[in-house]
Amino acid sequence: MSADPQLIQQARSSDPDARQKAAYLVSHALDDERDYALMFELLGDKDWRVRKTIVDGFVRDARTEVVTGLINSLADPENAGKRNSATEALIRIGEPAIEPIVARLQNEEDVDVRLSLVNLLGDLRNDHSYDVLLKLLATEPDINVASSIVSSLGKYRDAGALPHLMRALQRDDLWLKFHVVEALGEIGDRSALPAILPLYAEKSLRKPVLEAVGKIADVGTVAFLLKIIADEEKLNLTALRALVRIAEASKPRIVEQSERLLIQRKFREAFPASKIPPLVEHLHATPKREVKNFILKFLGWSGDERALPVLMQYLEQPETAEVAAQGLIDFGIGAVPAILDTLRNADEDEIVALLLRVINVVATADSIPSILPFLDHHNPMIRRLAIETLGEILDPSSIDYLLAKLDDQDVASQQAAVNAISALVGAYPEVKQEVLAKIRRMLQAKSVPMKLNSLSVFVNIQGEGYHDELLLASKDSDDVIRQKAISLMGKFGEERFADQLVLSLADESTAVRLAAINAIVRLRPEKGLEPLIASLEDTDIWIRTAAAQALGEYRHHDGIQPLMRHLQHDLPPVRIAVIEALGKSEESAVKDILFSCLGESDLEIQRAALLALARIPGNDVFERICQSLDDEDWRIRAAAATSLGNRGDRYALEALHKALEDSDTYVQQSAVLALDKIADRSSFPHLFRALENPAILDDVSEVFVKHKQLYRDLLEQAWRTADSRREVVIAAILAAMSEKA
């Protein structure tokens, strides 16, 4: 196209706003009117807004000549802004830019341009560029370019690069070794550690070595790090930071559980007491929140009494309070006297709450006198925490204080008191009669909360005559008390409650009727069937929903037709409950209506129907569920996997193995849970391969441990030939199998 003189003049104006407007106009022009020469001129503008506008235009128009022009812009030695903007544009263009970059790299002689191209391949990352980088590393004569190749390979985090990086590590140049160590840390494969650790002897490589050790996060290097901390005169913060990274690395739960306590114990045993003062000094001096946090962790791990006042001090600072509280928990029972002393003098509710949470974990009966004053604190959260702490300590001396809290103004505190008293009586049966005597008096109280909570305790500890007390309360004039009594009846399959539960289905209170339905499900008296069918016509949607769910538990043929009627016209919550109930009937007669639900637009209805079909016999049902594994919606695919697991049919194994590789994590998890229910040795290679998927690794580990008799020998065989990354996980699974045994 011919250049627009007016636009060119605007693009070269001294006014940056005018130039940005010109950049916008030229980058949004029609294809055959776009002035690419002007765009590349503006790509080097001194104003970042102009460059950004042009970059946006190039990204929208990533044709071959644009990519070529951007690569050429990398060679402009006078304009760093242009080079940076070209780099940003190529990264954003992505895949279409890779082949031209690789082609240019094969023939480019300018070292600075080669550096830029290599860095781009590290940022763009695909299989072809990875192979190109590996080949280049073997032949690249320039150390700076070779170092950039190494850094780019590190970004791929592919253990396949390790042999190539190990060869590069044999070269004499320290600058290259620096980047190789960094790359090995990024890849994170523990098999690199034997090559990395000896390099700590080279002073200029110490920091990258320690950082790489922290990133690889192998528990076997803890002793190496602790020795460095102990031997070096100056406090080595990089080694300490590496220790924290190892302890807090994102690892499979089964590995994390076995390693974290080990690291803390080794630290307490080996950390030199002489290093506590410089650690505290650095804590006070550093402005960095991250550094403060990891030092506070170490002070907790140390078990050193000098750390306690420091932890208390930082407990009062909002940005470090949570970490300091965890530090006190890690410190253990030795911290209790200092915690209680601080608790007595604490003014701020947030600090009191944190201290109570710590005491909840580490305190003993000696702490009770210090906790009791907080039972009457003005803040309900603190009252609840104090009650819960007494429930954790479990000492009979606190019974009367807890009984008094059954009438607390805060409902959560009342429930905490009920739980604590029930736990105490369970732990000390000898106090049961004394507690019952007091509870019986409380049942006569005028306070409704006191009566309700006393009744709960009475039933929880199964005091003599609790059946009669429940029956009496179920006829109380107060609907809240009736509802509570009916709910408590639901905890027991007592035939003597049947008549009252059925009568309560017609109670004037919706809450009582709902409680009666939920309670009657457990007992399922024959006389309850007709009232439940009648409850399907209740005016309250949640009563109808609960009634449908209850009829599903009855699994009675007489309930099917009434349920089907409500599937046609009722609201979605009721319809979903009806679908679930029809599935529980396990009758072939409901198959067609459930099939029809699969064709509805409401995904929740479809999902409920798939889950319900798990219980319905027939090959056509099985095939229909399998078809849903290919549905475009992840919720339907996940429901199909769950349904196959619930069905328990071994013919589903092949489909479930395929579902392990679904693009959606929730579908993958559903497939693992299904394979847990259909445990079979043929699933081992598929589950073992799934250990590579961090999203489901924990779920797969639990399946292996649960079915250890089925999988142990296969896992042991796999462990012998596993790579270093899998070896740690497999070893942890095998250890968990032994612990469970």
End-to-end CA distance of the chain: 79
pLDDT in tens, 619-635: 999 999 999 999 999 99
pLDDT at 741: 52
Residue range 273-363, CATH number: 1.25.10.10
Q: Which of 531, 477, 475, 479 is nearest to 506 (CA)?
A: 531
> What pLDDT, on the 0 to 100 scale, is given for residue 740?
57
DSSP state of 202: S
Over residues 682-708, the pLDDT tens digits come to: 999 999 999 989 899 999 999 999 999
Crossing angle (nearest 10°) for helices 143-156 and 174-187: 10
CA–CA distances in Å: residue 147 to residues 74, 133, 162, 231: 19, 11, 15, 32
Within 8 A by CB and 6+ apart from 232, the residues are: none
Share of the chain above pLDDT 90, in %: 73
Q: Are the C-beta atoms of 181 and 213 separated by less than 8 Å?
A: no
Q: How far is CA 471 from each of CA 262, 418, 478, 498, 504, rounded to the nearest angstrom?
A: 54, 20, 14, 11, 11
- Every domain of the chain and the residues it spans: 217-271, 273-363, 685-741
Taking alpha carbons only, the member of 649, 636, 586 closest to residue 608 is 636
- pLDDT of 89-147, one tens digit each? 999 999 999 999 999 998 888 999 999 999 999 999 888 899 999 999 999 999 999 99
Sole residue written with tokens 């639990």: 702
Tokens 């349904």 identify what position?
643
Condensed to tens digits (0 to 9), the pLDDT of residues 285-336 reads: 999 998 999 999 999 999 999 999 999 999 989 999 999 999 999 999 999 9
Does the structure show a pLDDT above 60 at 2?
Answer: no
Contact 86, 57 (CB under 8 A): no
Report the candidate in 698, 643, 707 with the shortest Cα–Cα distance to residue 665. Answer: 698
Structure tokens at 45: 């503008």
- In terms of Cβ atoms closer than 10 Å to its own Cβ (0-12, 13-18, 19+), residue 188 is middle
Q: Is residue 353 within 8 Å of residue 346, measured between CB atoms?
A: no
Contact (Cβ atoms closer than 8 angstroms) between residue 193 and residue 219 = no
Whole-angstrom distance, CA of residue 605 vs CA of residue 173: 66
Instruction: Give the closest residue to 576 by CA, choosing from 555, 554, 606.
Output: 606
**Cβ-Cβ contacts under 8 Å for 311 (sequence gap 6 or more):** 296, 299, 300, 324, 327, 328, 331, 335
Sequence-distant (≥ 6) Cβ neighbours of residue 625 within 8 angstroms: 610, 613, 614, 640, 643, 644, 647
For the chain, percent of residues with pLDDT exceeding 70: 99
Q: How confident is the model at residue 24 (pLDDT cuts 50, 70, 90)?
A: very high
Q: What is the pLDDT of residue 495?
A: 82
Per-residue pLDDT, 3: 60
